[in-house]
Structure 1
């Protein structure tokens, strides 16, 4: 069984034993982590594609590495403190009967997302570097008796992205950069199954919503992508940056 998880192409494959069991889709863009630089966060990432100050350029525009002197090591971390609360204003099953359960509480736990970047000068206007970060992460976790339990209980996505990079300064005005993205992804999806209703439909003496089961799907995968950068500096006060990051397709199995 496959479930699409993101714009980057995450899929989750597994074999489910059960009747009418399915895990709902998760849009991984909702799990995207934009906080990949503490310094950039302070400026709302307003100039991330033209940043030439430190090794965080590895993620935003690798061409920027070639535009500062010396080496650079940047360690950072961001506290993500989301708040997700659901308010039920009327939920019904396919049969038309109301679904029992509460609102599930705050479903989004806090998380600390670390980042590590390092860049080293090789001379001859060439720099190499490596970045390690988590472009997708976080989770939602609802109580087992909430009203939406047949749609989702726990949904979690974790990634680790390893980004070796090289950059070169071609002239006083132009620099280029390229990086390889070796990415690990792990996902978990779960939801409840109303075996009470299923049993009633096939003639068993069960009570709808009175015999819930649970389905859990987990999977992991390694995959590869790339990122490219170009920077043009026509004057001391003007920089133009272009950056491209490829999609990464994961086929998660577990």
Structure 2
């Protein structure tokens, strides 16, 4: 863990700039350069346009002209995640096992969980002689930011979810010969997670009375909190934690012919051991019951959790059809099966705070794109991509990550401002099918059932300067 001063500085940086809604499969953030945004990041492991190559394939640093190259980008991500309820329900055990819809239907509103955000990244690459190059990148490769209204119908499964990262990736590259270059780097990644869920105070009160086997206490609960699923009397639980972990990346770039190059890039998994706490905000109607019984279940406590972020492998190719037109393609495999569960435990006694099964699957992303050099100053770009979801079923889909398959359509351009300075712009619309969710929270038995209608719009810009 970082020290308190460093942790505070990183948290401030993340809160200001890197809080975002996920826009790639799972909670990965694909937008790591403004140049790649224009063609849906097709051919990412062979793109050698600017300093962002240090992230996508460090071997490509040797393909840049001699000198120092810098790139700084920003991506405005505007997601939409409209939810329509289809008979979400409270835990039927709270109504004597009654499965009647009228008796168990959750109360609340439909909601849009999406939040617009700005995601930055920056890179520097410098050559050292004819064969050696080095660089460093700072970006946010993972992120999540869903936030629902406090009275939305799925609040007992999720209210707010935030996953924020800062990744620092120095790398080095060596040109073996005229055709082959290799590169490698290390990543230091800071991760901060915050998850908030509403607590049905009426249900919690009845649970306390049942555990105490007290009819008198149950009578008090029914008097104080007569209605289940009442947003006005909800309590809240907030889990937060952070960690720094380290990983490696490596790449190879091969110029097969004067017109064709191929490349591959690998990034290792990062295993975070999060340390933080769980805090409770108890409604005044429930607090006297909690105080009278002396239970410690709702006390603030130190907590730990694991966050196993996936390894990935990209294989790309690019071909110059003629002096103006270049086409490229890309396949990326991401090992999301590392995300098996969301398990949080209290440090003091190892008791579970939450244990939500995920069982995500390994997935592929496929992309095709093209660049067209319109004139000496202007290059235009276009691309499409299909991004598979790692979520295997509606039962394992949660309102924290209501993920589904995604189709990207992108367009962009590069414009040369002067000999050593140019700018990239890009626009992407991500289409998603209407997505069913039928998720039961294992911690409280409440079910969220309905449909998500989601999409994402992304506007990217990047300034490149060489000297």
Equivalent position SS for 1:30: coil
Deviations 1:8-63 (A, max 9, x none): xxxxxxxxxxxxxxxxxx9x953211011111111111111111222111111110
Which of 52, 57, 62 lines up with 1:56 in the alignment?
52
Larger radius of gyration, structure 1 or 2?
2
Which residue in the other structure is 2:120 paired with?
114
Q: Which moved more, 1:206-215 or 1:236-245?
A: 206-215
Tell me how many residue pairs correspond in the alignment.
227
Distance 1:86 1:227 in 2: 38
Which of 218, 229, 249 lines up with 1:209 in the alignment?
229
Which residue in the other structure is 1:229 paired with?
251
The residue correspondences of 1:9-158 to structure 2 (distance < 5 A) are: 29-70=25-66, 71-95=68-92, 96=99, 97-104=104-111, 106-158=112-164
Distance 1:219 1:227 in 2: 26
Which residue in the other structure is 1:242 paired with?
264
Kept after mapping to 2: 8 A contact 1:111/1:138: no
Which residue in the other structure is 1:163 paired with?
169
Distance 1:167 1:39 in 2: 21
Give 1 or 2: higher strand fraction: 2
Q: Please, which runs of 5 or more residues in structure 2 have no aligned partner?
A: 1-21, 93-98, 210-217, 277-467
Q: Please, which runs of 5 or more residues in structure 1 have no aligned partner?
A: 1-25
Give the superposition deviation at 1:68: 1.9
Give the alignment's TM-score, normalised by structure 1: 0.85
Give the alignment's TM-score, normalised by structure 2: 0.47
Q: Runs (4+) of structure 1 moved beyond 6 Å?
A: none
Deviations 1:184-213 (A, max 9, x none): 010110101112023234223232224321
Q: Which moved more, 1:216-225 or 1:190-199?
A: 190-199
Distance 1:47 1:124 in 2: 25
Kept after mapping to 2: 8 A contact 1:31/1:139: no
Kept after mapping to 1: 8 A contact 2:35/2:49: no
Kept after mapping to 1: 8 A contact 2:146/2:160: yes
Taking only aligned residues, the RMSD between alpha carbons, in angstroms, comes to: 1.6
Give the superposition deviation at 1:66: 0.9
Deviations 1:41-100 (A, max 9, x none): 111111111112221111111100011222210111111100111111211112241111
